[in-house]
Each structure stands twice: as structure tokens, then as C-alpha cells.
Structure 1
Amino acid sequence: MTETTPAGAPTAPATAPRTEGNPNPWPALWALVIGFFMILVDTTIVSVANPAIKAALDPDTNNLDNVVWVTSAYLLAYAVPLLITGRLGDRFGPKRIYLTGLALFTLASLGCGLSGTLEMLIVFRAVQGLGAALMTPQTMAVITRTFPANRRGAAMGLWGATSGVAMLVGPLAGGLLVDGLGWEWIFFVNLPVGVVGFVLAWMLVPALKTHEHRFDIVGVFLSAVGLFLIVFGLQEGEHYDWAAWVWAMIAAGVVVMGLFIWQQAKTRSEPLVPLDLFRDRNFSIANLGIATVGFTVTAMSLPMMFFYQLARGLTPTEAALLLIPMAVLAGAFSPVAGRILDRVDPRLLLVPGLLLTSISLFWYATLMNPDTEIWMFLLPSGLLGIAQSGMWGPLATTATRNLQPRQAGAGAGIYNTTRTIGSVLGSAAIAAFMQSRLTANLPGAADAGGDFAAGQLPPFVVAGFSDAMAQSILLPASVMLIGVVAVLFMRRPAHLAPR
């Protein structure tokens, strides 16, 4: 039976949030990780299948704008509702919202695989994104509400390991499934995973207390409109050559989000985003940190994969194999880092983790030339894996350490929205930066027979193209340094303070 807490009821002090559910919360977390892993894999697996999807469903057009919407529709439907779906978990229970999202995501995967037209696939991808938006905040909220503060690091370590492994599995599974069975199977593979994940979550995830919340309808409308305008503008700007109307859309989104923040501050009842959460310095800094991480992880992959495949002639699967050290080491060290995090100041992991991520990208930049032995790219990949073990889990743990149970969903929604906005910024920025570097390093190359989209690089442009990709990866490497500086200003957690 669930219980409700009145909206105005006092909560425990921020330094000692209560925990709920079963004495051993690990089985529930493992059940949730299955669905979370599926979401992360599905974010990257589709990019490998885009050429096959275009050939099957959009063969009569010469541009890529149509098939790009297979990814864009998913990201828009995923990013825009996150603030709202986090709050829904507080109101109706994270288990109920998670199961709803998982069922929606799984059924939409079936629809994607059965799509006979590109328009139908885009619609089902949007439904997939909505299902993912319902699921993602609930994973963090359940960890926050069921693990005590001094054991939460280990749980978030598993969460971080899931992210690292999924980064490898997505491209690899995409290449193998498309080559072996066809593009439809990148969606059909979600069906058994979704069913197993649903059953396990139904059995193992506790029905936590619900909390009565007054839904801020004005806030919901303003946040949805503002985020849509910003995300759509940033995501599609490159395709429309950053026309004036694109910048107007982004500016309008910023204005609407400013109005949203003002409205949240003035709301006397219960705002959609409790701005009091940002009085916790570590919560605020962790959100800034995850924005830089989202930017960096999204931005670094594009020039890296273009270099591997176009300049060095690797297949998508061969390029993905170069990420094995990163995925393996991130998966192995993240739980260890999580256990350590429960006993030390998070800065002792975050500063080296973020700094080593930046160093590994600068290292990649020095290696990205036509003459480097391929095996040498395994070295910065390994360093990147070790670095990421001190990044995902520690940031999430620090952000949620002091959240009260009734605000766990709201906090998780804010955190995941910030991460997603960082990813969209990274995607837009790296596309523009890569184009500028290509123009600077290869003036007139497009008129000399180079077909970048088809992977046919004439030998005389390979060196210039490699230089452009190496220079491009310096952008995410530099942005990560902002995160390094930010986490230096975190405070030592209360449970580690000397008595």
C-alpha cells in the first residue's frame, strides 16, 4: 500500500535523507539497470543503421535531412519532457512510471521494426523517446530513495558502469545486426530485453511512497515550449545552415526558459522545478559538471568515428572495436570508484576523472594522422575508460546525495535534462566546428572529387581531413576543463565531516 505526504509537510534535514523500500535494494537496482542499459544502447545503435534505413525507406532522395529525423525525433521526445516525467515519479511512484515508460518503449520498438515508411519510423522513434523520458529519472530516483547516503556511491558506480559498457555495445551491436539480419533487428532486439526488464522490475522494484504534488500547469507549458525551441534549434541548425529563423527560434527558447525560471521563483504553491534544490552547492555544481560531460561525450565521437572510417578506412564495426578498452575499463573500475566514493570527498575522484578525460582527448588529437599505427589508439581509449569511472557515478551521487524522497524525481529530472541539453549543445557545436576545420584545412576539396558522405577520400585530401578531425576533437577536450574547474568548488559531504 502506498502512502501520501501532504505537499506542505516538513521534510527531514538535507543532511540526512531517509531511505525506503527493502533492506537490500540491490536486486531492484539490477532490474532497473536492464531498462536503463536498453535506453543507452538505443541512443547510439541507430546511428550505425542510418545508411541502411535510408536505402530501404528513403531511396529516392539525395539528401540526408529526412533520415536524420529518425534520430532527431527520438532526442526531442526524450529531452523535452524530462522535467515533467521526473515529477510524475514523485507523484505516482517511480515504479509505476518506470514500468509505463518501459512498456511504451518496448511496444514502440516493435512499431519501429515493422515500419514500412520513413514517416512511420520517425513517429515510433518519437514514442520511443517519450518512453525513455519516463524511465530515465526513475532510475536515479529509486537509487536516491532506497540507498542511504553512505552507500549510494556504490549504486551509482553500477549506474556509471552501465553507461560505459553501453557506449561500446551500441555501435558494435548496430553493425553486427545490420550486417547480419537487417536494420529492423536493431529495434526487434529490444523486445525480449524489454519483456525481461519489465517482469524483473515488476517483481523486484518496491512500490515506494507517493507524494502529493500540485502540478504547475503553467510551468509545464513554459518548460516544454522553451526546451522544444532550444533543442530543435540546436539540433537542426546545421541542416539549415544556421539561418536567421533558427537563431530566432533558439533566442525565443532562451527567453521562454527565462520566463519559466521567473515563474518558478514566483509560484506560491508548488513549482515544477523546486529552485531551493540549487541552494545545495554540490547539486548545482554537479549539474554544471554533467552538462560538460554530456557535451564532451557527444562531441568527441563524431570526429573520432569520421577519422577512423574515412581517413583510415575502417568499417563501423572495426572502429567500434577500438573503444573496447574504454568500455571494459569503465565497466570494471566504475563499481570500485563507487565504493571508494562512499568514504572519500567526491573531488578526489571527480577532478582526476574529468582531467584524465580531457588529457585522453588531447592525446587522441596528437595521434589522429594517417601514419599512426592503429593499435596505438587503444591507449587513449584505455585511459578514457579509467577516467570515466571517476565521472558518471561520482557526479550522479554528488547531485543526489542530499535530495529528500519527495524531491528525488524532480532532482533526477533536472539532472537528466541538464545532461541532455549538454549533449545537444555538443552535437550542434561539433558539427559546426568540424565544418569550419574542414573548410580551413581542405579549401575546395569538395570540388576535387572527395565524397565524404560515401567514405571515398582521394589520397591527396586524407592528411588535411585528418588534421581537421584532430583539431575538432580539441573542442570537447577544452570544454571538459570547465568541468574540472567547476568540481573544485564542491563541498565535502556532510556524512564525511569530522565529528
Structure 2
Amino acid sequence: MTALDAAPPRLDSPVRHRSLAAVLVAVGIPMFMVTLDNLVVTTALPVIRTKLGASLSDLQWFVNAYTLSFAALLLTASSLGDRLGRRRVFLVGIAVFTAASAACALATEPWMLTTARAVQGVAGAAVFPLSLTLLAAAVPARMRNAAVGIWSGIGGLGVAVGPVVGGAVAEGLDWTWIFWLNVPIGLIAVPVAAAVLRESRGGVTRLDPLGLVLSAAGVLALVWGVIHGSEHGWTSTSVLVALAVGGVLLVTFVVWERRAPAPMLPLRLFRVRAFSVVNTVTLTFNVGAFGAVFLLAQFFQVVQGLSPLDAGLRTLPWTMAPMVVAPLAGVLVGRVGGRVLIVTGQVLLAAGLGWIALVTTVDVAYAAMVVPLVLAGIGMGLTFAPVSAVSLASVPQHEHGVASGTNNTVRELGVAVGVAVLASVFSAYGGYGDRSAFVAGLVPALQVGAAIIAVGGVLALWLGRTPGQVSAR
């Protein structure tokens, strides 16, 4: 028995497995709802601005209030689930998310929508990582990788259709339906999840209050600084203070976790090479990929003059591919290992981004972009499921919660850093002045994104012969 296996899993009911379809419905629908709301509001912002009389700063906070609270509390929610019960925290998260969605729809002032979006983010942080942990515990070992693949595809679908749904609702219905749609889904999801999922906990029952505060505050400050870096300038006082405070808090968190009697993040996990490498690759992958998606969605609107809905539809060859590829990758990871799929995914994604950068001009035909968009989407699909599978497989079952929370926190940090870094490259070489200026900034930004992803592909070679099956220890 290794040190990682010292604490056995604690289950509150006898081990029994539901059908894969029932479990996927129980965890997949709430997770889809949460990922959808990450981006659904972006294409509806012009309409919301008019209806609520919102300022530019208000529009930014409609997005950032969700992103900040979501990213800051992923690890905290996973830790609470390990101690208080993963199913219990998951159900509370769904219920609060549903209520917050109704509050968003009822908002009549910008501050009301911002507050409700922040509560949505808090609740989403409880739903997203625990959906993976509960899924891994609820299906037989032989089916776990396939289940993780389908779970990844559902998450990819939420990201893909978010801007499309937002644009469609904003153009065809009242903007409040973006949020009202969540209410009946949530009301159904709570009893379904309660009936299908069994309760489980991690190996530690004591809370780590100081660790919870330090991790949440540190990630919050760091993500705030990154988000506002490209807007206010990386040398502005507010950004530098936020980054410094976030760094100090996270360093303090690490020091405390080394001494804490019941650490929320056991640092010994990072001595496992697969766990450390896969989280590093998660960071580089999300920095390059989502920073590029952020700019490409604007390219179709700013340069090619398309509506938000049409722009969202143009990105679907990229963003929809993972829905098909990720489940297949989940099946294959148990046969060929995570390294092969992750390295291949990073190579294809980097090649797709580089190809798009090569062909992009002011007058580029959409047909010239379809193949590299699909290539990039296949690369993402080959990455999503193996990253989650390797993250879980590298730790014992009773630490699946902290592994999922850590990986998803890194993912959200990567998204924020990617948008900020690639936006800064874009601003350095171009801008929004005219179509040519936008393309002049977009091309080097895509090249930087491709390079960052390629670095992650090289790092993934260090995964070695990664575990092929999600841990059931």
C-alpha cells in the first residue's frame, strides 16, 4: 500500500451501480447548464445593455461576476463535498443555481444582474467538479473512461452552443429567457440526481477553514488581475496589487497546506508525475485554445460583419467537434493511454490554429477556414476526456474530488489567462480601428496561442505510460 492509498474511501450507502444512461442524465444535465451559462450571456450583451441601461463596466461585470466566483470556489466546493458529502453539496449547488437563474431573469437594474450572476458562479463551482467525481463513483470501473469521455462531450457541447443559444434567444425572444430556461431544467435535475446518485465522501472529515479562505481569495485576486490586465494595463496599480495579493495568498496557502492537520489540497499529490504534468498541460491547453476562440468569435463579427448568432454558428466546426470526439477518446484512453491522445490532441490543435493564422485575411472565404477549424476541434476533443481521466487515475478514489477540483481550477485560470494574454498580443499588433487592424492583431495572437499549445504537447510527453483506467482504489 502506498502513501496515496492510506485513507480508504468513505461511502454512506452500499456500493451499487445505476445504468450509465441514468447516471449521465443525473450529472450531465446540471453540468451542461453550468457550462452553458459560462458563455451564453456574451452574445446577448448588446440587448441587455439597452434593456437595463447598463454601462460598459456593467457589461464586463455581467461576465466577470460569474467567472470570478466560479473559478475562485471550484477547489473549495470540491473540498466541502469531500467532507460534507459530494451528493449533498452537488444538490445544493443545483438548487442555488436554479434560484440564481430566476433572479437573473427578474433583474431590473445592472447591480441586480451582477449579484445574481455572482451567485450563479458560486453554485456552478459546486456542480461542475463534483459532477465528475460523482460520475466516476457511480459507474463500474470498466465503464469509467467511456463515461468520462461522454461527460467531456457534454461539457464541450455547453461551451459550443452557449454563444449560439445566447444569440438566438436575444434575436428571437426576450433576453430574460437566457436564464428562465435554466429554471425548469434545475427543477427536474434536483430530484433526478437525488434519486440516482449515492452519497460519498473523501478520506478526510475535518474542515480546513484557513485553507478554504486562502485558496478562494488567492484564486479570486489572481483571476481578477488577469482579467483586467489587458483592459487597464498590466502595469496599472489595481492590476499589480491584485496579482501580488493573489500570489502572496496562494504561496501562503501552499505553506499552510504543508502543515495543516487536514489539508484541503494534499501537496503530496503533486509528487505524482502524471498529476503534475496533466495539470500543467491543462493550463497551456486552455490558455491557447480559449484565448483563440475569444478572438475568432469577434473576427466573424468585426471583420466579416456577421450577427452574433451567425458568428457563433461559424465557430461550430471547432466547438462542436469535441462533442463527437471526446466520447471516443474516453473509450480509447483505456487502451492506448492518456499520453498518446493528449500529445496528438495538442499537435492537431496547434496545427489548426497555425493554419487559421496562415490563411486569415480581411477577405478570407469561410470555406478556407473550415478544415483547420475542424482540425482544432478534433484536437480539443482528444484532450478533454484524457486530461480528466489521467487526473482521476493518478490518485486513489477517495481523492477524486480534490483531483477534479484542482484540474478544473487550473482550467478556469487557463481560460482567464488565455483571454488576457492573447488579447494583449492582439492589442500590441492591431486593434478595433478597422478590419485590417483587427486582422493585424489576430494573426500574431493565434500564432502565440498555437505556440503555447505546442509547448503543452511537448510537456505531455513526460506523462510516460499513464494509467489507462480511472482509479477505483
TM range (shorter): over 0.9
Q: Is the Cα contact below 8 Å between 1:88 and 1:409 reproduced in 2?
A: no
Q: Is the Cα contact below 8 Å between 2:8 and 2:203 reproduced in 1?
A: no
Which of 226, 236, 247 is 1:234 aligned to?
Answer: 226
Q: Is the Cα contact below 8 Å between 1:106 and 1:191 reproduced in 2?
A: yes
Aligned pairs for 1:67-216 within 5 A: 67-147=59-139, 150-209=142-201, 211-216=203-208
Larger deviation, residues 475-484 vs 111-120: 475-484
Q: Is the Cα contact below 8 Å between 1:58 and 1:67 reproduced in 2?
A: no
Aligned pairs for 1:347-362 within 5 A: 347-362=339-354
SS in 2 for 1:11: coil
Which of 336, 357, 371 is 1:365 aligned to?
Answer: 357
Q: CA deviation at 1:170?
A: 0.8
1:27 maps to amino acid: A
- Aligned match of 1:385: 377
Instruction: Count how many residue pairs are aligned between Structure 1 and Structure 2.
Output: 461
| Residues 100-141 of structure 1, C-alpha deviations (whole Å, 9 max, x = no match) | 001101110000000000000000000000010111111121
- Aligned match of 2:258: 265
- Taking the aligned partners of 1:220 and 1:465, their CA distance within structure 2 comes to 42
Which of 14, 39, 44 is 2:39 aligned to?
Answer: 44
Structure 2, unaligned runs of 5 or more: none
| Residues 451-478 of structure 1, C-alpha deviations (whole Å, 9 max, x = no match) | x4xxxx7xxx423322221222222211
- Aligned match of 1:480: 453
Which of 30, 48, 52 is 1:53 aligned to?
Answer: 48
- Aligned match of 1:315: 307
1:11 maps to amino acid: A
- Taking the aligned partners of 1:138 and 1:127, their CA distance within structure 2 comes to 17
Aligned pairs for 1:395-474 within 5 A: 395-438=387-430, 452=432, 461-474=434-447
1:406 maps to amino acid: H
1:151 maps to amino acid: M
**Percentage of matched positions with identical amino acids:** 30
SS in 2 for 1:237: helix
In structure 2, the CA distance between the partners of 1:213 and 1:131, relative to structure 1 (3 Å rule), is same
| Residues 175-231 of structure 1, C-alpha deviations (whole Å, 9 max, x = no match) | 110011121111111112222222321221122356552111221222122122211
- Aligned match of 2:25: 30
Counterpart check, 1:278 vs 2:270: yes
Q: Is the Cα contact below 8 Å between 2:348 and 2:376 reproduced in 1?
A: yes
Q: CA deviation at 1:23?
A: 5.8
- Taking the aligned partners of 1:328 and 1:420, their CA distance within structure 2 comes to 20
In structure 2, the CA distance between the partners of 1:181 and 1:494, relative to structure 1 (3 Å rule), is closer
Counterpart check, 1:11 vs 2:14: no
Q: CA deviation at 1:275?
A: 0.8
1:98 maps to amino acid: F
SS in 1 for 2:113: helix
SS in 1 for 2:395: coil
In structure 2, the CA distance between the partners of 1:495 and 1:327, relative to structure 1 (3 Å rule), is closer
Which of 228, 231, 245 is 1:252 aligned to?
Answer: 245
Q: CA deviation at 1:303?
A: 1.8
Runs of 4+ in 1 over 6 A off after TM superposition: none
- Taking the aligned partners of 2:308 and 2:463, their CA distance within structure 1 comes to 40
Q: Is the Cα contact below 8 Å between 1:164 and 1:331 reproduced in 2?
A: yes
Larger deviation, residues 19-28 vs 101-110: 19-28
TM-score (norm 1): 0.87
- Taking the aligned partners of 2:467 and 2:450, their CA distance within structure 1 comes to 32
2:252 maps to amino acid: L
- Taking the aligned partners of 1:473 and 1:184, their CA distance within structure 2 comes to 34
1:422 maps to amino acid: G
Q: Is the Cα contact below 8 Å between 2:32 and 2:158 reproduced in 1?
A: yes
Q: CA deviation at 1:149?
A: 5.1
SS in 2 for 1:116: coil
Q: What RMSD in Å do the two structures reach over aligned CA positions?
A: 2.1
Q: Is the Cα contact below 8 Å between 1:303 and 1:470 reproduced in 2?
A: no
- Taking the aligned partners of 1:339 and 1:65, their CA distance within structure 2 comes to 45
- Please identify the structure whose Cα radius of gyration is greater: 1
| Residues 311-360 of structure 1, C-alpha deviations (whole Å, 9 max, x = no match) | 11111111111223234432222212211111112112111111101110
- Taking the aligned partners of 1:106 and 1:184, their CA distance within structure 2 comes to 14
Q: Is the Cα contact below 8 Å between 2:90 and 2:126 reproduced in 1?
A: yes
Q: CA deviation at 1:52?
A: 1.2
Structure 1, unaligned runs of 5 or more: 1-7, 14-18, 440-451
Larger deviation, residues 86-95 vs 115-124: 86-95
Q: Is the Cα contact below 8 Å between 1:150 and 1:342 reproduced in 2?
A: no
Q: CA deviation at 1:249?
A: 2.1
- Aligned match of 2:465: 492
